Amino acid sequence: MLKKRAMTVLTAALALSVAAGCSGANSNSNSAGSADSAGGTSGAGKKEKVELSLWLTPQWKGVMDATEDGADYDSFFLYAADKFKKQYDKYDVKVNVQVVAGDQRDELLNVNLNGGTPPDMFFESVFAMGDYVHRGALAPLTDIVDDAARKDIAQGYWDNVTFGKDVYFYPFAHNPGTLAYNADMFRAAGLDSLVGGENEIKTWTLNEYNRILETLKTKLPKDKYPNAYPMALYALNNQGDTWNLAYLRMFGNKFFDDKNNLAVDDADGIKAAEWLKKVYDSGYSNPGAESVSSNDANAMFQNQQLGISFTNAVLYNNAKADMKAGKSPSFDMRLANIPSASGKPLAFTYVVGTALFNTGDKARMEASKDFIKFFSTDPELVKASKNSIPVRSSVASEFASQFPLFTAYDANAANMFSFTGNVAGYSELRQVLYPELQAMYTGEKTPAQAIKDYQSKGNAVLQKARESSVIKP
Amino acid sequence: MRQEKAKKRESFDIASNTVVLLFALLNLFPLYWLFSSSVKNSSDVIKMPPDWWPRTFTWSNYADVFTNQPALRWTLNSLYVAGLSTALLIVTSSMAAYAFSKLRFKGRSVFFIVFISSLMIPKEVMIVPLFRISQDLGLVNSVYGMIWPNVATAFGVFLLKGFFDTAPDALREAARIDGAGEVRTFLQIMLPIVKPGIGALFILNFVQVWNDYLWQLVIGQNKESKTLMVGIATLMQDLNPNFAYKMAGATVAAIPMLLIFILFQRYFTRGISIGAVKE
């Protein structure tokens, strides 16, 4: 009887959904934009109608702030599109904004590129989109970069978005990667002298760092911090691999040679791998690094099971907000650089900007360029970059008093290295590192062997990608 | 001697049932963990040692899923796509299977082999050409773009043909002698016999379409046209570090499937077992 009733309810729900589906907003509008070159006119003036599509992965919510009513990931671009439309006189432009999840990006882009309908613009971290430049899918933006922008945005960021001789992403904000540490744990272990300031990105020497690991391992009170480990190590997949790449540079290895080949298999690279293995074997890190993901490590850190972990500006802010909202245990979380043997810390950043797809439609590409330039230079709109870290010095200094870490991040820019080297095949190269690290942590390979194999397999990937790249050195 | 044997069998039964029970619990544990985590606070989800039973129950994660996202729309889209695709698939598959099983025509076996060999082509290979066709037909960002490619599959024909094969030809012949036409014979005589097969096909195809992530991802590109699986996957990428919120999203995606299984499991098991035995 009960089953019969349940069946009736389910059938009714199905019928209801069919009705809802029939009447729903299942518009047939294509993802890609369109230019009404047949002379479509709008009521307001006789401008050619141009429909553009902009895709983005989740960055920040709201136009300027996540606390705004109805704040969502597309709010900023919807606002910017509206403002652009009101002052744009070349075309009657409409911008369709679509948020895609990070792990859906490549599937969606590849199908749409093959189908001939890529989006007009994509707002994303440069490192995730570099391969599309080498494939010839993106168009250069060099002609819309003016002197004022060049002056306001530091050269390091321009280097990050330049492939060959051209700029392919208009930089908007950046998301610097550092270490995060639990200052309360440090104090509990008697490491007070090595705790940095609240708004400082602390730089330790490698000797100091090794001392921290050893002290956290031996002196951390077990009653207060049961099951806690000094630092995070993970190699389950390619997520968060930039920190692993940074560790491999700790002893001075340059990573890429002048011909854009991997050059990690030298004395410095092997020394770095041996250091990682020693940290792991000595119990200075969480166990099972080969099966721990960066997300796991982040959760362990938030749960006070790790003294030092990886972070970036967004993760750091999220973790602080979680503590404030009582969603995670509250502790004194601070920032530090990745140390190196030379004493000069290692820092990197994810530059976020807009790319223009080569759609072949003159009107759409022209309007897209104008829109990119508009929201990347408009004095009001560029302020939204405060949601991560502004690339523009003018914005960073304007908000310096409100966000004291902006100054620290700005000062840290001098320590930055380009972790992708903007090489062709970087995305595929990421699939090569973590299996070698896994083999090293499980003892299947020695650090030297893991590095050797990473280099040979990685260079095969790079060679293949280079041959098909449209960017020639 | 006999008593000893019975005792041995009894202890073997107890041991094997215990093992089966343990495996059942092991399989149920992820579901339990999903549901229990969805009603916890985010910090409790990642707590070590974990709370095996939620200390505080909160339904706010579910409220957030439905207020922050068009999750109801996604659910209706999923039900519509899976429901209509499956209904249409049953219509096309049953007719084709009946023809391959009961009608005699030239080249029947060759046609059937060619038809069935399409099962060997993975759907991923067809994504790009299928996407282009959908674009040309204006089906991108439409639920119908998710439905039409699923209304005729070789698998459905293959499955139902097996059931039609078990139905005696004498029944069809008797119906014809009694004056029933082909359509009437098919609808009133043969179709009721293969009902368990239709039930099995319904549940298998419903689940398959419900979980057809890749195709629904590329077709439903705007927020309103997403299905539940794609929408929830998007939720997982949200920078929101609230794990319980994501667990609530995953639970919402899992519940309809569980209901379908619970309600139709009788047809499912009967269908599979009948199809397995050829008389």
The string of pLDDT tens digits covering residues A147-177 is 999 999 988 899 889 999 999 999 999 999 9
Distance from CA of A306 to the nearest CA of B (A): 12
Asked whether residue B195 carries a pLDDT value surpassing 50, the answer given is yes
By three-state DSSP, how is residue A51 classified?
strand
Q: What CATH number belongs to A3-175+349-415?
A: 3.40.190.10
Q: Measured between CB atoms, which of A21, A57, A107 is closest to B214?
A: A107
Chain pair A-B, CB pairs under 8 angstroms: 144
Mean pLDDT, residues A404-433 taken together: 87
Asked whether residue B67 carries a pLDDT value surpassing 90, the answer given is no
Residue A195 gets which letter from DSSP?
Answer: -
User: A61 vs A76, A103, B195, CA distance in Å?
Assistant: 8, 19, 51
Contacts of A438 by beta carbon, 8 Å cutoff, 6+ apart: A235, A236, A290, A444
- Distance in Å from the first CA to the final CA of chain B: 40
CATH architecture of the region A177-348: 3-Layer(aba) Sandwich (3.40)
B56 touches B40 (CB < 8 A): yes
Chain B contact for A104, CB < 8 A?
yes
Q: Would the CB atoms of A14 and B79 count as touching at under 8 Å? A: yes
Other C-beta atoms lying within 10 Å of the C-beta of residue A229: 23
Cα(B26)–Cα(A196) distance, integer angstroms:
47
Q: Per-residue confidence at A10, pLDDT binned at 50, 70, 90?
A: very low
Peptide bond into A345 cis (omega under 30): no
Cα(A227)–Cα(A209) distance, integer angstroms:
21
User: CA dihedral defined by A459, A241, A199, A332, rounded to 10 degrees?
Assistant: -160
* H or E stretch covering A339: none
Q: Which chain B residue shows the shortest CA-CA distance from A18?
A: B80
Chain B hits for A17, CB-CB cut-off 8 Å, are 75-76, 79-80, 83
- Distance in Å from the first CA to the final CA of chain A: 74
- The two tokens of residue A42 are 């709008």
Spell out where A274-415 has E strands. 306-312, 333-336, 348-357, 389-390
Q: Which chain A residue shows the shortest CA-CA distance from B76?
A: A17
B134 touches A28 (CB < 8 A): no
Cα(A94)–Cα(A51) distance, integer angstroms:
5
Q: Would the CB atoms of B241 and A114 count as touching at under 8 Å? A: no
Chain B contact for A58, CB < 8 A?
yes
Beta bridge partners of A201: A335
Average pLDDT of chain A, as a whole number: 88
Asked whether residue B56 carries a pLDDT value surpassing 70, the answer given is yes
By three-state DSSP, how is residue A18 classified?
helix
Predicted local distance difference test score (pLDDT) of residue A166: 95
Task: Look up the pTM and report it.
Answer: 0.77
> CA neighbours within 13 Å on the CB side: how many for A116?
9
Predicted local distance difference test score (pLDDT) of residue A236: 93
The third-level CATH classification (topology) of the domain covering B61-275 is MetI-like fold (1.10.3720)
User: In this predicted structure, which of A324-333, B89-98, B145-154 has the lowest mean pLDDT?
Assistant: A324-333
Chain B contact for A227, CB < 8 A?
yes
Predicted local distance difference test score (pLDDT) of residue A422: 83
Predicted local distance difference test score (pLDDT) of residue A293: 87
Chain B contact for A98, CB < 8 A?
yes
Chain A hits for B267, CB-CB cut-off 8 Å, are none
Quick: pLDDT tens for B111-146: 999 988 988 888 888 888 899 999 889 998 899 999
Report the share of chain B in percent with pLDDT over 70: 92
B141 touches B220 (CB < 8 A): yes
Cα(B192)–Cα(A242) distance, integer angstroms:
61
A189 touches A215 (CB < 8 A): yes
Cα(A195)–Cα(A202) distance, integer angstroms:
8
Sign of the alpha-carbon dihedral angle for B95, B99, B103, B106: positive
Chain B hits for A111, CB-CB cut-off 8 Å, are 127-128, 131, 218
Asked whether residue A28 carries a pLDDT value surpassing 50, the answer given is no
Asked whether residue A30 carries a pLDDT value surpassing 50, the answer given is no
Contacts of B67 by beta carbon, 8 Å cutoff, 6+ apart: none
Asked whether residue A14 carries a pLDDT value surpassing 50, the answer given is no
User: CA dihedral defined by B162, B164, B167, B172, rounded to 10 degrees?
Assistant: -160
Q: Measured between CB atoms, which of A26, A31, A299 is closest to B143?
A: A26
* H or E stretch covering A421: none
- The two tokens of residue A142 are 């060099």
Report the share of chain A in percent with pLDDT over 70: 90
Quick: pLDDT tens for A289-325: 999 988 888 888 988 999 999 999 888 887 887 788 7
Predicted local distance difference test score (pLDDT) of residue A40: 43
A363 touches A35 (CB < 8 A): yes
B105 touches B39 (CB < 8 A): no
Q: Would the CB atoms of A28 and B138 count as touching at under 8 Å? A: yes
- The two tokens of residue A222 are 């077990």
Distance from CA of A246 to the nearest CA of B (A): 24
Quick: pLDDT tens for A75-126: 999 999 999 999 999 999 999 999 888 878 888 999 999 888 899 999 999 9
Exposed/middle/buried for residue B167 (C-beta within 10 Å: 0-12, 13-18, 19+)? buried
Q: Which chain B residue shows the shortest CA-CA distance from A303?
A: B47
Predicted local distance difference test score (pLDDT) of residue B246: 83
By three-state DSSP, how is residue A23 classified?
helix
Chain B hits for A29, CB-CB cut-off 8 Å, are 140-141, 222
Exposed/middle/buried for residue B145 (C-beta within 10 Å: 0-12, 13-18, 19+)? buried
- The two tokens of residue A188 are 């509990």
Residue A122 gets which letter from DSSP?
Answer: E
* Dihedrals phi, psi of A201, to nearest 5 degrees: -100, 100
Q: Would the CB atoms of B42 and A322 count as touching at under 8 Å? A: yes
Cα(A97)–Cα(A29) distance, integer angstroms:
13
Residue spans per domain, chain B:
61-275
- Which stretches of B39-153 are DSSP H helices? 42-45, 60-68, 71-102, 108-117, 123-136, 143-147
Contacts of A63 by beta carbon, 8 Å cutoff, 6+ apart: A71, A75, A76, A79, A384
The ipTM assigned to this model is 0.71
Predicted local distance difference test score (pLDDT) of residue B270: 67
Q: Would the CB atoms of B84 and A21 count as touching at under 8 Å? A: yes
* Dihedrals phi, psi of B52, to nearest 5 degrees: -70, -25
Contacts of A307 by beta carbon, 8 Å cutoff, 6+ apart: A181, A182, A185, A186, A189, A212, A216, A220, A228, A229, A230, A231
Nearest alpha-carbon partner for A303 in B49, B54, B247 = B49
A239 touches B236 (CB < 8 A): no
Tell me which residues of chain A, numbers 373 to 402, contact chain B at a CB-CB cutoff of 8 Å. none
> CA neighbours within 13 Å on the CB side: how many for A1?
0
Long-range contacts formed by A320-328: CB under 8 A, 24+ apart:
A322/B42, A322/B43, A322/B241, A322/B242, A326/B43, A327/B41, A327/B42, A327/B43, A327/B241, A327/B242, A328/A302, A328/A303, A328/B42, A328/B43, A328/B46, A328/B241
- The two tokens of residue A209 are 């760092």
For chain A, give every residue range classified as CATH 3.40.190.10: 3-175+349-415, 177-348
Distance from CA of A77 to the nearest CA of B (A): 15
Q: Per-residue confidence at B274, pLDDT binned at 50, 70, 90?
A: low
Predicted local distance difference test score (pLDDT) of residue A4: 55
